[in-house]
């Protein structure tokens, strides 16, 4: 197998270029008003992209619309319904999209136009520099629901595992199925639509075999305790292959693929038993073992679902004005991109891991005026996992004017954040949570990390947040490790709080726990939370107002001396009303937190002005 060295060299060069960010990072910590810094980020990335004023309709390159048929499909974790899908034998527009984009790019750029109508595409749409892929009102692209179609056209021939693409899966580098829309190392690109009738449909819940399996089946067993509206995985039963099922295609021992490891290192990475051979654990193990990308081959025979839209190493990116739905995995995943704007996009997918927008190791990002209705976090800022931190931190990110409905966290940092996250500004947001009775927003402002994912969070500012229907009013607990000072099923880090900082996120999932996270300089103000009347007649806004679980030192399992495990510091919460928690006896939970300041914070009608440590 041969890696495209020109592309790889570009990716190596980009981290150095990313440092040329006009000094924003250096100044952020000392700026007298952080919101002036946020405005500077907005001003920089809001400069319009320019494209040649020439259109390249996909119909000029052989695209034809398709007829639709009805099929029973999964529309969420637990619900099925009859949906439209391209009829059998529909014309595949993959070649037309590829030809139109090539013609546009080769001519110096312009607009590739998708007219109104239903279009079937059985392969990835690969964006190229100076191209705006534009969906007219009423244009609906149905991507093939067959995973094999995303292992046909990648740049890297991996034999029986298919022709694959350079990808990242949950923040680890790999060769895998292509995303439905993909770009690598491109500049000045856009994906736009006229309005929310301009639709990109990943068909994540549409069955692809006689057994009724779909992309979402590959999630496998769920782990969250006491989850609401997420009690199962579509069509998954015990014994089926999934990302969490031991895969016989994976090596029986790291000694065969990473012989440089000592026996102690190998045992630490593999952990006990064969659980590490499941794809979702195997890929992180390859990272921890230092196995190069060229040998992290997945694709056919494996069960790692690709993101719907993945952009890697791109600069000057606009995502605007369309509707994305039913995605196999994360909806948008830009990796190591600079100057990226997502504006007025409807991010709607209620399947497993259907995060709305996950910028990873990106610099200068604006998320503006979007609506999220998701099966996982609405927005989740990420920055590498295990040893895959070569692209540095996610930084200089502004989130504003957005609306969040269902999801795990409305604004989330992590959990994959080993490269660090800094200079994040969230303002003027409505966490509307209209599905609060049946599929509630789990938590509002969320941090996730642990002694594996490590990293740092600093300079995080939040203001002017409306949460009219609260968040999940029952607790969803986490499972701690043996020997932890915190008993399992006692701390509601998975769901139930307005503000959740979880520095011990799913510790049982990570074998290597040697990198304590550092969390500091977080400021939250003017958050207003409403109450709802639950089925049992209670009028409440959440289970608890605040849960801050700092790093748990007993989780450490690396060599001595152990690095410092420091408390969460520098957190202030000001001028907030968190409504009435169901657990008024314990309105907050704190562990390993130093100097949490509550200034004019109302909880259950009581005003708090205090400094807390635990």
**172-176 vs 163-169, strand pairing mode:** antiparallel
pLDDT band at 226 (very low <50, low <70, confident <90, very high): low
Q: Which of 271, 313, 490, 285 is nearest to 385 (CA)?
A: 285
- How many domains is the chain partitioned into structurally? 1
Residues 341-378 have pLDDT tens digits of 999 999 999 999 999 999 999 999 999 999 999 999 99
* Residue 456 belongs to a domain: no
In a domain, 505, yes or no: no
**pLDDT interval class at 2 (50, 70, 90):** very low
Which contacts qualify for 560-563: CB closer than 8 Å, 24 or more apart? Answer: 563/514, 563/515, 563/516
**Cβ atoms 133, 96 nearer than 8 A:** no
What is the helix (H) or strand (E) element at residue 282, kind and residue range? helix 279-288
pLDDT of 454: 96
What's 177's DSSP letter?
Answer: P
Half-sphere exposure of 534 (CA within 13 A, CB side): 18
- Tokens coding 376: 């996982």
Q: Can you tell me the mean pLDDT for 244-267?
A: 97
Closest CA to 133 of 327, 397, 309: 309
**Cα(497)–Cα(80) distance, rounded to whole angstroms?**
30
Task: Please determine, for residue 13, whether its predicted confidence score (pLDDT) is greater than 50.
Answer: no
Give yes or no for residue 229 having a pLDDT over 80: no
Q: CA-CA distance, 213 to 208, in Å (whole number)?
A: 6
The pLDDT score that the predictor gives to residue 222 is 76
With cut-offs at 50, 70 and 90, classify the pLDDT of residue 472.
very high
Rg for the chain (alpha carbons), in Å? Answer: 23
The mean pLDDT of 333-344, rounded to a whole number, is 98
Residue 406 contacts residue 440 (beta carbons within 8 Å) = yes
- What's the distance, CA 515 to chain centroid? 21
- The pLDDT, as a whole number, for residue 31 is 52
Q: Which residues of 144-172 are buried (b: 16+ CB within 10 A; e: fewer)?
A: bbebebbbbbbbbebeebbbbbbbbbbbb
Domain that residue 75 falls in: 63-210+221-233+307-397+410-425
Q: Do the domain assignments include residue 188?
A: yes
> Residue 527: exposed, middle, or buried by beta-carbon count in 10 A (0-12, 13-18, 19+)?
buried
The answer on pLDDT for 213 being more than 80 is yes
State how beta strands 172-176 and 117-121 pair.
unpaired
Structure tokens at 444: 């509002």
Report the 10 Å Cβ neighbour count for 216.
29
Q: What is the mean pLDDT of residues 260-282?
A: 97
398 has a pLDDT exceeding 50: yes
Q: What number of CA atoms fall less than 13 Å from residue 19's CA on the CB side?
A: 7
- Mind listing the pLDDT tens digit for each residue in 497-552? 999 999 999 999 999 999 999 999 999 999 999 999 999 999 999 999 999 999 99
Q: Report which secondary-structure segment, H or E, holds 84.
A: strand 80-86
- The yes-or-no verdict on residue 9 having pLDDT over 50 is no
CA atoms within 13 A on the CB side of 102: 8
Residue 141: inside a domain, yes or no? yes
Chain segment 411-422, per-residue pLDDT in tens: 999 999 999 999
Does any domain span residue 196? yes
**259 domain residue, yes or no:** no
* Per-residue buried b or exposed e for 415-444, using 16+ beta carbons within 10 Å of the residue's own CB: bbbbbbbbbbbbbebbbbbebbeebbbbbb
Share of the chain above pLDDT 90, in %: 93
Mean pLDDT score of the chain = 94
Q: Is residue 47 part of a domain?
A: no
CATH code for the domain of 122? 2.160.20.10
Cβ atoms within 10 Å, residue 266 = 17
Contacts of 108 (CB under 8 A, 6+ apart): 52, 130
Q: Is pLDDT above 90 for 230?
A: no
Q: Is residue 459 part of a domain?
A: no
Does residue 7 surpass a pLDDT of 50?
no
Kind and range of the H or E element at 283? helix 279-288
Would you call 428 helix, strand, or coil by DSSP? strand
Q: Is the pLDDT of residue 30 over 80?
A: no
At 17 the pLDDT is 37
């Amino acid at each position: 197998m041969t890696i495209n060295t020109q592309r790889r060299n570009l990716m190596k060069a980009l981290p150095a270029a990313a440092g040329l960010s006009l000094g924003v990072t250096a100044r952020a910590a000392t700026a007298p008003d952080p919101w002036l810094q946020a405005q500077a980020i907005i001003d920089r990335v809001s400069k319009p992209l320019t494209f040649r004023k020439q259109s390249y309709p996909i119909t000029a390159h052989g695209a034809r619309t398709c007829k639709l048929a009805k099929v029973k499909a999964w529309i969420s974790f637990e619900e099925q319904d009859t949906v439209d899908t391209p009829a059998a034998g529909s014309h595949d527009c993959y070649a037309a999209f590829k030809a139109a984009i090539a013609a546009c790019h080769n001519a110096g750029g312009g607009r590739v136009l998708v007219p109104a109508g239903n279009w079937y595409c059985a392969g990835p749409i690969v964006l190229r520099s100076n191209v705006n892929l534009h969906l007219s009102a009423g244009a609906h692209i149905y991507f093939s629901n067959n995973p094999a179609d995303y292992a046909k056209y990648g740049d890297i021939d991996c034999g029986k595992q298919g022709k694959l693409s350079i990808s990242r899966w949950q923040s680890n580098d790999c060769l895998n199925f292509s995303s439905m829309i993909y770009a690598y190392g491109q500049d000045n690109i856009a994906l736009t639509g006229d309005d929310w009738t301009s639709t990109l449909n990943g068909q994540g819940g549409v069955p692809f075999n006689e057994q009724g399996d779909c992309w979402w089946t590959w999630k496998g067993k769920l782990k969250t305790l006491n989850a609401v509206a997420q009690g199962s995985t579509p069509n998954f039963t015990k014994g089926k292959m999934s990302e969490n099922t031991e895969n016989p295609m994976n090596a029986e021992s790291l000694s065969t693929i990473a012989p440089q490891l000592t026996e102690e290192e190998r045992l630490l990475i593999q952990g006990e038993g064969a659980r590490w051979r499941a794809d979702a654990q195997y890929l992180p193990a390859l990272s921890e073992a230092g196995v190069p990308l060229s040998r992290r081959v997945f694709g056919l025979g494996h069960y790692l679902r690709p993101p719907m839209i993945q952009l890697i190493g791109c600069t000057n990116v606009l995502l605007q004005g369309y509707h994305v739905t039913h995605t196999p995995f994360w909806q948008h995943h830009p990796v190591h991109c600079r100057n990226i704007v997502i504006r007025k996009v409807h991010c709607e997918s209620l399947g497993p891991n259907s995060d709305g927008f996950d910028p990873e190791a990106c610099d200068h990002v604006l998320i503006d005026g979007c609506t999220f209705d998701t099966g996982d976090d609405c927005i989740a800022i990420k920055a590498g996992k295990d040893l895959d931190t070569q692209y540095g931190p996610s930084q200089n990110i502004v989130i504003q004017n957005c609306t969040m409905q269902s999801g795990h966290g409305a604004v989330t940092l992590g959990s994959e954040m080993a490269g660090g996250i800094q200079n994040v500004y969230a303002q003027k947001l409505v966490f509307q949570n209209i599905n609060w009775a049946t599929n509630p927003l789990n938590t509002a402002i969320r941090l996730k990390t642990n002694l594996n994912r490590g990293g740092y969070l600093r300079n995080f500012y939040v203001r002017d947040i409306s949460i009219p229907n609260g968040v999940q009013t029952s607790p969803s607990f986490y499972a701690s490790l043996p020997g932890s000072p915190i008993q399992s099923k006692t701390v509601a880090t998975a769901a139930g709080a307005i503000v959740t900082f979880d520095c011990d996120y799913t510790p049982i999932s990570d074998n290597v726990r040697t990198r304590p996270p550092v969390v500091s300089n977080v400021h939250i103000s003017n958050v207003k939370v409403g109450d709802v009347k639950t089925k049992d007649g209670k009028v409440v806004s959440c289970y608890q107002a605040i849960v801050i679980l700092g790093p748990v030192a007993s989780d450490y399992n690396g060599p001595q001396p152990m690095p410092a495990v420091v408390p969460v510091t520098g957190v202030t919460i000001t001028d907030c009303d968190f409504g009435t928690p169901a657990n008024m006896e314990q309105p907050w939970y704190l562990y390993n937190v130093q100097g949490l300041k509550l200034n004019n914070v109302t909880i259950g009608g009581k005003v708090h002005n205090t400094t807390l440590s635990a």
